Structure 1
């Protein structure tokens, strides 16, 4: 069995402490959905989204599918700012059908993202899709099946160039080609969770949590089909 490494970044961002790893075994979510606060069924184009593409590619939304087919870095932002506590849910399928970009890799997300260069408007600072341009975010960043489907990691960006503090670093679980991955992201105060297909992948308690900001799909040289994007207020929260 592969040994997992789990790390918690300390406040200074320079030291690491060992944390108990999350488990991908069957688990019951403790955070129940309340009212729906945002959604996109991907039938009316990209009006709710903003794209940042490093080297072109295509991003389309039609017939119930957000399709991202790109040769390098791509970030697709949800334009509405989200305030916690909330739960994000969506389904993503990595396409492997012989296409030029059908590399199964990088089901990634930013959430509660704020750009320190324009903290009141994440879109006021232009970015071109290369990963280093996002170092100036304060955000959580999940990379599931990244690095050609060899790593699964959680980072907590602190808004400094070249500094991407690592929280969890796993060699599994990874992406399965042409299979749906049902993602659930929990932002509830200090509780930060990322689920896939009912398994708890990341479970982090942040002593200084990011509780609001923007969500994005992020990938690199890949082809994804995404459906059923929904954001829910947590049960018993207004």
Structure 2
């Protein structure tokens, strides 16, 4: 067991009862009375996305799916900057059908991401898809079923090389091959939540929250089909 896992083991155990509790019907759906502020049905290409690949692979958007089939690191950024509060949803299916990249692992996300080297424009700094290149982000990061589907973690990057503070470290829940995983992310001031199939996986209170920035799908050596990308704004932000 690493020092990091020991340090956060007690926190994870304490949080597990509430952070992994089943969602109620009301809290699981953000749509009622919310306004849709961004979406992609993945039928018209990658115009809303910027793709960063470590060692190539394919990323396409057609016929209702974002297909990510890569041999190494891949980050797919939503070009529009998001301002909280918001709730973001998508469905991702880890493909396991015998393909060369069909390793069930790493359903990951960055959100509210800002690159400290170009804080006003995330895309003014070039990145090549390797995970270490993202150390200069200030962002939240979930690695769900990472490390060949053995860990599920929440990190809060602080924009420093080699520093990726770990907030929660679980050995479950993990990815299920060929099963749709419906993800919901809530960014609401100090409230940071990440759900999967109605289950609240991470429920974090951040006294110094990241409240705006960019969202990305992140994975490495895997094959995913992603659909139904939506971002909702709560009523109090409507004019």
Would you say same fold, with TM above 0.5? Answer: yes
Shift of 1:62: 0.1
User: What is residue 214 of structure 1 aligned with on the other side?
Assistant: 214
* Coordinate RMSD, CA, aligned: 1.9
Q: Which has the higher helix share?
A: 2
TM-score normalised over the length of structure 2: 0.91
What is the CA deviation profile of residues 90-132 of structure 1, one whole-angstrom value per residue up to 9, with x for unaligned ones?
0000000000000000000000000000000000000000000
Q: Give the 3-state SS of the residue equivalent to 2:19 in structure 1.
A: coil
What is the CA deviation profile of residues 149-169 of structure 1, one whole-angstrom value per residue up to 9, with x for unaligned ones?
000000000000000000000
Mapping for residues 106-185 of structure 1, pairs under 5 Å = 106-185=106-185
* Structure 1 counterpart of 2:15, from 20, 23, 30: 20
Q: Give the 3-state SS of the residue equivalent to 1:129 in structure 2.
A: coil
Q: Which has the higher strand share?
A: 1
Mapping for residues 54-65 of structure 1, pairs under 5 Å = 54-65=54-65
* Number of equivalenced pairs: 228
TM-score normalised over the length of structure 1: 0.91
What is the CA deviation profile of residues 174-222 of structure 1, one whole-angstrom value per residue up to 9, with x for unaligned ones?
0000000000000000000000000000000000000000000000000
Shift of 1:45: 0.1
Shift of 1:133: 0.2
Q: Which runs of 4+ in 1 moved over 6 A?
A: none
Contact 1:5 1:170 in 2 (8 A): no
Distance in 1, matches of 2:174 and 2:151, equals 7
Cα distance change on mapping 1:180 and 1:23 into 2, 3 Å: same
Contact 1:31 1:234 in 2 (8 A): no
Cα distance change on mapping 1:5 and 1:152 into 2, 3 Å: farther
Q: Give the 3-state SS of the residue equivalent to 2:232 in structure 1.
A: strand
Mapping for residues 61-76 of structure 1, pairs under 5 Å = 61-76=61-76
